[in-house]
Amino acid sequence: MDRDWGSKPGSGGAASAQNEAIDRRERLRRLALETIDLAKDPYFMRNHLGSYECKLCLTLHNNEGNYLAHTQGKRHQTNLAKRAAREAKDAPAQPQPNKRKVAPRKTGGCLLACTAVGFAQEGLETN
């Protein structure tokens, strides 16, 4: 028997795959709203109509949750990877500055005092 649970034939049972996908997207959207700060997102922009735009992908979104779901999606992630690769290629590798080892400098006072002592021991006069 197909109708053991009392559902109509073709109804997909208690929860269809479509309903499960909707619930999953809603859970991910709520989680993203809690964890991600949109003020720090360089691609997030609110336009004059009140909708939200992704400046990277040039997409429009009706609310913040849809934008956050978009940021987790394949299109946004591939555009991020393309942008990172292009910036890495365009930015020339800057050479590291040569750091010379600086030897401690011997002061002239010690050198003069030592030579004066040496001259005095030998019987010679200094200035």
Q: How far apart are CA 53 and CA 55, in angstroms?
A: 6
Instruction: Report whether pLDDT(106) > 60.
Output: yes
Q: Which of 74, 81, 66 lies closest to 32, judged by CA?
A: 66
Percent of the chain with pLDDT over 70: 68
Instruction: Report whether pLDDT(122) > 60.
Output: no
**How sure is the predictor about 21, in pLDDT bands with cuts at 50, 70 and 90?**
confident
Which pTM was predicted? 0.50
What are the E-state strand segments in the chain? Answer: 44-46, 52-54, 59-61
